[in-house]
């Protein structure tokens, strides 16, 4: 069965006819053409598909698109403005928080959610907020430094 | 993992409408957060044709502070539970347990009802279709042998929800709604000791709310779990402890366990500790009682003897730390 889905993705209002069994991550990548959000484990274990729904981090691979009626969805694709990176993106760039890069979109969206509600997080706060995001390259130290960099930039 | 099969999604606005929709469709499942159900569907261990989505039902989202009890809607998210000032004050172990479920992004959409009705888990069951097929499936689904205990005819898949043992400390009751109306049962009676069929829900029944009676005076409680990855994982063993002292002696002691058997349960025989001083020797005996009753089976890659020992150790540590 299909239904009409109305929502905003990165500030743009969209109306699409979507099948009931379409996952949000496939909707974002295949229908909306926003391939920043990655498919890692497909089971909620890696966090690569993390997006913000109404400002809160969620797994796009465990969310049915049709349940996002009237929701405000944000992905990594929508963060930069006019070619300028946001603080958290600059943090990952400057502090080498990204190596192979596959986990980065999820890391950045989970960090973004953290910094919006807690502009001055402790290292423990950062570790807690990123607990559901797995990185196989960095060992996490550079990622934490990236978030700390972004927190300083945002409040400076 | 496999793509999702063709399904019909329904969006009821009331509990009664949800039950009607569920009743009308032959193979239907209730869907709330979906953090477990959608994974299980993609692994082929659930195959519903219809999903009845519960998050649009306002009644199921409320936390209500009554004079004698606190009522929590079944669709309240685990993050809301963990952050609730009301719960932290009255039922600390429940808020702690909710905050220990999976990772922060799961808790944003995982719900109380989903955690209490979580399917039992086993290393031979929570696998992909091809993995299970190569292993001739298992007793819990499509097979005829339990690979954990091949000689028996019983399924030992472990209940792995974190919140249930904490709620058991407080005599919580669950409100269920089904085609025959509503009923209220003790949370303990929601479960049975059978990994294949561990919930006593009747066909089409759904959990609407959990009611927890307030205690006359605050008694310290806490929850702790052991898991493979400290950041995000199901419990190898989860322990909830409630221990009240009077004149330095134990006046109240309850311990709830999860992750070590097909159902969450309260440890039996703790009344012998009432009136004793909670010194090291006493708490070591508590540890041994817990260890004896935590009869974990080979349902995880971590061996059962470790899970038994860690359940006892967690109970001992919690009891030492909460008062």
CATH of the domain at B226: 3.30.390.50
The answer to whether residues B311 and B291 touch, using CB atoms and an 8 Å cutoff, is: yes
Domain count across chain B: 1
**pLDDT for residue B4 is more than 80:** yes
Q: Which residue of A has its CA nearest to B109?
A: A58
Question: What's the pLDDT at A42?
Answer: 74
Contact A128 B39 (CB under 8 A): no
- Rounded to whole angstroms, how far apart are CA atoms B9 and A112? 31
> What's the pLDDT band for B241 if we cut at 50, 70, 90?
very high
CA dihedral B210, B96, B213, B265 (to 10 degrees): 80
For every residue of B178-241, DSSP letters joined together read ETTEEEEEEGGGGB-S-TTS-B-PPTT-EEEEEEEEPPSS---EEEEEE-SSSSS---SEEEEE
The answer to whether residues A102 and A35 touch, using CB atoms and an 8 Å cutoff, is: no
Contact A23 B8 (CB under 8 A): no
In a domain, B151, yes or no: no
**pLDDT for residue B237 is more than 80:** yes
- Rounded to whole angstroms, how far apart are CA atoms B120 and B40? 11
Taking contacts as CB-CB distances below 8 angstroms, the residues of chain B near A3 are: 9
* Residue pLDDT, tens place only, B101-116: 999 999 999 999 999 9
The answer to whether residues B178 and B204 touch, using CB atoms and an 8 Å cutoff, is: yes
Q: Does the predicted interface ipTM exceed a cut of 0.90?
A: yes
Span(s) in chain A for CATH 1.10.150.120: 87-155
Taking contacts as CB-CB distances below 8 angstroms, the residues of chain B near A135 are: none
In a domain, B144, yes or no: no
The answer to whether residues A101 and A58 touch, using CB atoms and an 8 Å cutoff, is: no
The dihedral region occupied by A128, where left means phi > 0, alpha psi between -120 and 50, and beta the remainder, is alpha
- Rounded to whole angstroms, how far apart are CA atoms B80 and B84? 6
Q: Which residue of B has its CA nearest to A23?
A: B4
- Given CB atoms, is A60 within the 8 Å cutoff of chain B? no
Per-residue DSSP letter, A30: I
Summary mean pLDDT of chain B: 96
Average pLDDT over residues B149-176: 97
The answer to whether residues B106 and A45 touch, using CB atoms and an 8 Å cutoff, is: no
Question: What's the pLDDT at B198?
Answer: 98
Taking contacts as CB-CB distances below 8 angstroms, the residues of chain A near B5 are: 21
Question: What's the pLDDT at B1?
Answer: 63
The more confident residue out of B4 and B189 is B189
How many CB atoms lie under 10 A from the CB of residue B213?
Answer: 14
In a domain, B294, yes or no: yes
What CATH number is given for A2-78 in this structure? 3.10.20.30
Contact A50 B55 (CB under 8 A): no
Closest chain B C-alpha to A131 CA, distance in angstroms? 5
- Given CB atoms, is A128 within the 8 Å cutoff of chain B? yes
The pTM for the full model equals 0.96
Residue-range definition of the domain harbouring residue B254: 221-322
* Residue pLDDT, tens place only, B179-197: 999 999 999 999 999 999 9
A98: nearest Cα among A135, A126, A63, A131: A135
The answer to whether residues A145 and A95 touch, using CB atoms and an 8 Å cutoff, is: yes
The answer to whether residues B298 and B307 touch, using CB atoms and an 8 Å cutoff, is: no
The answer to whether residues B29 and B69 touch, using CB atoms and an 8 Å cutoff, is: no
> What's the pLDDT band for A71 if we cut at 50, 70, 90?
very high
First to last CA, chain B: 46
Q: Which residue of A has its CA nearest to B11?
A: A67
- Given CB atoms, is A43 within the 8 Å cutoff of chain B? yes
* Residue pLDDT, tens place only, A97-154: 999 999 999 999 999 999 999 999 999 999 999 999 999 999 999 999 999 999 999 9
**pLDDT for residue B323 is more than 90:** no
Contact A67 B8 (CB under 8 A): no
Average pLDDT over residues B278-296: 97
Closest chain A C-alpha to B38 CA, distance in angstroms? 6
The answer to whether residues A49 and A39 touch, using CB atoms and an 8 Å cutoff, is: yes
In a domain, B274, yes or no: yes
CB neighbours of B177 closer than 8 A, spacing ≥ 6? B15, B16, B19, B205, B206, B208
Contact B105 A67 (CB under 8 A): no
- Which CATH superfamily groups domain A87-155? [2Fe-2S]-binding domain (1.10.150.120)
Question: What's the pLDDT at B216?
Answer: 86
Q: What angle do CA B171, B177, B178 make, to 5 degrees?
A: 135
- Rounded to whole angstroms, how far apart are CA atoms B109 and A44? 12
Cα dihedral B251, B257, B262, B268 sign: negative
């Amino acid at each position: 069965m299909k239904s009409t889905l109305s929502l905003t993705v990165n500030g743009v209002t969209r109306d699409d006819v979507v099948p009931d069994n379409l996952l949000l991550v496939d909707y974002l990548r295949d229908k909306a053409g926003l391939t920043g959000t990655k498919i890692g484990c497909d089971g909620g274990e890696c966090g690569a598909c993390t997006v913000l729904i109404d400002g809160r981090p969620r797994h796009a691979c465990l969310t049915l698109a049709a349940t996002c009626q009237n929701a405000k969805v944000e992905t990594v694709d929508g963060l930069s403005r006019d070619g300028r990176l946001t603080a958290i993106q600059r943090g990952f760039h400057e502090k080498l928080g990204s190596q192979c890069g596959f986990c980065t979109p999820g890391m950045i969206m989970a960090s973004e959610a953290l910094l919006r509600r807690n502009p001055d997080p402790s290292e423990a706060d950062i570790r807690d907020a990123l607990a559901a995001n797995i990185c196989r390259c960095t060992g996490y130290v550079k990622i934490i430094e990236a978030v700390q960099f972004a927190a300083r930039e945002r409040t400076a | 993992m496999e793509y999702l099969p063709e399904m019909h999604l329904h969006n009821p606005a009331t509990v009664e409408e949800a039950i009607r929709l569920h009743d009308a469709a032959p193979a239907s499942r209730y869907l709330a957060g979906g953090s477990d159900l959608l994974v299980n569907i993609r692994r082929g261990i659930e195959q519903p044709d219809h999903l009845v989505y519960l998050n649009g039902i306002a009644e199921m989202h409320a936390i209500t502070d009554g004079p004698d009890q606190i009522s929590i809607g079944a669709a309240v998210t685990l993050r809301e539970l963990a952050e609730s000032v009301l719960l932290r004050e009255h039922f600390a172990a429940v808020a702690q347990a909710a905050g220990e479920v999976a990772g922060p992004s799961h808790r944003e959409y995982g719900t109380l009802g989903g955690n209490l009705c979580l399917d039992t888990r086993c290393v031979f069951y929570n696998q992909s279709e091809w993995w299970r097929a190569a292993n001739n499936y298992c007793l819990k689904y499509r097979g005829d042998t339990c690979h954990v205990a091949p000689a028996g005819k019983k399924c030992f898949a472990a209940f792995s929800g974190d919140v249930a043992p904490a709620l058991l400390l407080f005599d919580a009751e669950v409100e269920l709604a089904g085609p025959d109306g509503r009923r209220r049962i003790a949370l303990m009676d929601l479960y049975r000791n059978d990994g294949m069929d561990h919930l006593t829900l009747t066909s089409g029944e759904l959990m609407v709310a959990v009611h927890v009676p307030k205690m006359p005076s605050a008694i310290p409680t806490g929850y702790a779990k052991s898991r493979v990855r400290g950041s995000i994982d199901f419990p190898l063993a989860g322990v909830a402890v409630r221990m009240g002292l009077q004149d330095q002696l134990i006046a109240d002691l309850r311990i709830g366990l999860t992750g070590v058997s097909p159902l969450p349960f309260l440890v039996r025989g703790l009344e012998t500790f009432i009136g004793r001083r909670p010194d090291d020797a006493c708490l070591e005996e508590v540890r041994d009682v817990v260890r004896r009753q935590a009869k974990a089976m080979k349902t995880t890659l971590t061996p059962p003897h470790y899970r038994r020992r860690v359940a006892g150790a967690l109970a001992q540590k919690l009891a030492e730390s909460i008062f």
